[in-house]
Amino acid sequence: MCGLVCLWNIDDAALARRMIDRIAHRGPDETGIHSLPGIPAVMAHCRLSIIGTENGSQPIPGEGALLAVNGEIYNHRALRAALGPARFATDSDSEVILHLFADGAPTWIAEPDGMFAFVLATPERVVAGRDPLGIKPLFMARIGDGLAFASELKAFDGLGLDTIAAIEPGTLFDSRHGVRRWFRMPQGAADLRGDEDPEPLWRELRLVLEAAVRKWLVADVEVGSFLSGGLDSSIVAAIAAQSLDRPLKTFSVGMADSPDLVAARAVARHIGAEHHELVFTAEDLAEILPHVIYHLESADTDLVRSALPTHFATTLARRHVKAVLTGEGADELFAGYSYHHAYRNRHRQLADEITRSLGTMHNINLQRVDRITMAQGLEARTPFLDRDLIAFAQSIPASLKMKADSEADGGSTEKWILRKACEDLLPPALLWRKKAQFDEGSGTVEALQTALSGLLGTAPPVDRNSEGRLYERILRERFEEPDFILANAGVWTGGRVAV
């Protein structure tokens, strides 16, 4: 995992250095700035070495082009074999993009499977692409007659730019041909057909899920797992633990004796993990708030709240590993949010809402996970957002995701088919544990009230408007051009499908 900068038709190595220094936290292992004769580009890259640790330095030259990548390509071995191993100069998974582009197949961009953002420059054009869900970020701005690309907004802070655009998830920008959308979210299914038996679906789901976790474990370094004690992270950790020949390192954080800590200990014992905990206080929250808001690049109240425990989980995990698995995406994919219960008998609408919300994750939860983990040079991996798993899960009827308990009680169980598929992995009390948001289960919400009261000098409770104003004030103090950051920050997207 890394950070990148590319200046196209801008011959300014000093500017590239300034920009990459702003995001150097993304890649603490190595920084490189490179250009090639005949290619009107300066590229900079800060590297967190995960695959090809010995010779995977970037930017990567070759095939008449220069390439910088942020992310992981999980099918790189298969692609390397198909492309011809003799063409490769490094062991980096990223190099496959260079050769796929050079071969010129019309749909080459659909070949890499993973999470990635990249910029590739040739003498005639610059090309930039992003993974299907936007797990990895990439921004583009015009500077004079040239283009500037970078992994985070803060790289552009202070440059006096008027406009900037995010390379959208699942799109490819080409300075010669414009923008094309190479990935479209599969439309979710609504109901079972007639008397169709759901058992084959949940059994196949289990196999697809196991394959996704194994795929996202690929690395030349040890991979651990965040473990909140909730369903999603517990399932990922349990499958990962079965896939390794060593104890899985798991990481849990919260206030002392918070529900998440208690549940995570039970899961860790059950799966035989090497478990680690970090307990934080209200004073800790107040202290790290400016750091979190700066790296989050947002003052959105809900994003900041969920970013705080993510920061502590990252702090803990980074002491032991360079990469972790997370449970992000399961709630969007399998109807895990409380508001999904309103769709109990509206399966077509629920299927449409799931499809919509998956397409907005890059601006909210995925932004939080990327920015906060990369702030400390930790790679976060999201196997629930594996492309094959998404395709299969979207074929599962929404009526099996939010499943009615019975006509008599009028209740419903979120993520029913996911629980059913993993019934043998966890004890029933853990598998059917009531969902809590990360900031709630970890105790962050209550402790944050104490922290905010101290910062504002008021008695609790602190209302959301006052909380939001404090976050914005902190953000404004940390950036040279805060209006630019706020105008381009990811925000929670409205427009939920009507019930």
Among all residues, which ones are annotated catalytic? 2
User: Which residues, listed in sequence order, are joined to residue 179 by a DSSP beta bridge?
Assistant: 173
Q: How far is Cα 258 from Cα 441, in angstroms, rounded to an integer?
A: 7
- Angle at the Cα of 272 from the Cα atoms of 266 and 277, rounded to 5 degrees: 55
Map tokens 């999980």 to a residue. 74
Q: Which helix (H) or strand (E) holds 127?
A: strand 126-130
Which tokens sit at 151? 């992994």
Burial class (CB in 10 A: 0-12, 13-18, 19+), 56: buried
**186 closest CA partner among 370, 478, 387, 437:** 387
Residue 121 one-letter amino acid: A
| CA 424 to the chain's CA centroid | 28
Q: How far is Cα 288 from Cα 149, in angstroms, rounded to an integer?
A: 29
Q: How far is Cα 55 from Cα 66, in angstroms, rounded to an integer?
A: 16
User: What's the Cα-to-Cα distance from 12 to each of 8, 27, 154, rounded to whole Å?
Assistant: 10, 22, 18
Please, are residues 33 and 165 in contact by the beta-carbon 8 Å criterion? no
Please, are residues 324 and 223 in contact by the beta-carbon 8 Å criterion? yes
Read out DSSP for 300-347? -HHHHHHHHHHHHHHHHHHTT-SEEE--TTHHHHHT-SGGGGGGTT-H
Residue 128 one-letter amino acid: A
Q: What is the DSSP letter of 392?
A: H
CB atoms within 10 A of CB 365: 25
Residue 492 one-letter amino acid: W
CA atoms within 13 A on the CB side of 325: 33
| Residue 93 counted as an annotated binding residue | yes
C-alpha torsion angle, residues 354, 360, 364, 367 (rounded to 10):
120
Map tokens 């991996």 to a residue. 381
Provide the terminal-to-terminal Cα distance of the chain, rounded to the nearest Å.
40
Which amino acids are annotated as binding site for L-glutamine, given as ranges? Answer: 93
Which amino acids are annotated as binding site, given as ranges? Answer: 93, 253
Which amino acids are annotated as binding site for ATP, given as ranges? Answer: 253
